[in-house]
Amino acid sequence: MDLQLKDKRALVTGGSRGIGKAIARALAQEGVRVLLSARDLAAATAAAEELARETGGEVHAFIADTRDDDQVDALIAHAIAQLGGLDIVVNNAARPGARPEVPGVAGVASDYLLDELNTKLVGYLRVARAAAPHLVANGWGRIINISGLAARQSGTIPGSTRNVAIAALTKNLADELGPKGINVTVVHPGATRTEKTADAVAAKAAADDISPDAAEKALFGQSLIGRIVEAEEVAAVVAFLASPRSVAINGDAIAAGGGSPRAIHY
């Protein structure tokens, strides 16, 4: 299927590693001109150069901390200048979900939760707020917010709260921007293989004195597909949502975690 993405212009925040990097790769493979952002200059530059070589596409890097209004405004201005406009925004700049040492209410520090919300919820809002006028001026655009399946289960207050909030932000943006040609969706990855997965598997294998394969199955084998999802598989979902082909999906949440047993979402 031709996703009709060639020569579209995309910003991917948190694009130097993990799911963000896989998304930048998938878009570049479809002919999208990509600007990826991150907080670390060396990591962002290396990722952009690697993806440009690998895909033969146009991939640029820019440094921005999405917790800061001025840096986000500068990021969007640079994207417009570098790419000549903007069609697609993928919000992915956030700390990976981590289980606090004490997951109950007694273990939730106020500063930790506020930082989580500032980074993910308000950070995504900052980017969407700065980018929206440019997308509206085009009369077409896509905003894809990367959240997580913690939105659909308890476990940690910060994890569930920040991801539910992203779903609420997404729907509000879609209701406002949808009539102006902008589709806004949220993707909920579950356990996904990234650069940190091997260390987690090795630690589990050592702690339980089991093989790495058994450790990975124990950690990440609870989905209906029985294995961890690859970052490239999440990126494929995002590439479709970023495309004109996804016009029928707006304001909705798409799970990309391999399927949750017993849960019914409607």
Angstrom distance (rounded) from CA 144 to CA 164: 15
Reported as a single tens digit per residue, the pLDDT across 132-168 is 999 999 999 999 999 999 999 988 899 999 999 999 9
- Do residues 106 and 157 share a domain? yes
Reported as a single tens digit per residue, the pLDDT across 190-216 is 999 998 899 999 999 999 999 999 999
Q: Please check whether residue 80 lies inside any domain of the structure.
A: yes
Could you tell me which residue, 83 or 107, shows the higher pLDDT?
A: 83
- Do residues 212 and 94 share a domain? no
Could you tell me which residue, 170 or 1, shows the higher pLDDT?
A: 170
What's residue 190's pLDDT? 95
- Do residues 42 and 150 share a domain? yes
CATH of the domain at 184: 3.40.50.720
Angstrom distance (rounded) from CA 141 to CA 61: 21
Place of tokens 């993910």: 120
User: How many domains would you assign to the chain?
Assistant: 2
Task: Tell me whether residue 51 is exposed, middle or buried, using C-beta atoms within 10 angstroms of its C-beta: 0 to 12, 13 to 18, 19 or more.
Answer: buried
Tell me how crowded residue 66 is: count the other CB atoms within 10 A of its CB: 26
Q: Please check whether residue 262 lies inside any domain of the structure.
A: no
- Do residues 212 and 147 share a domain? no
With bands split at pLDDT 50, 70 and 90, how would you rate the model's confidence at 247?
Answer: very high
- Do residues 123 and 23 share a domain? yes
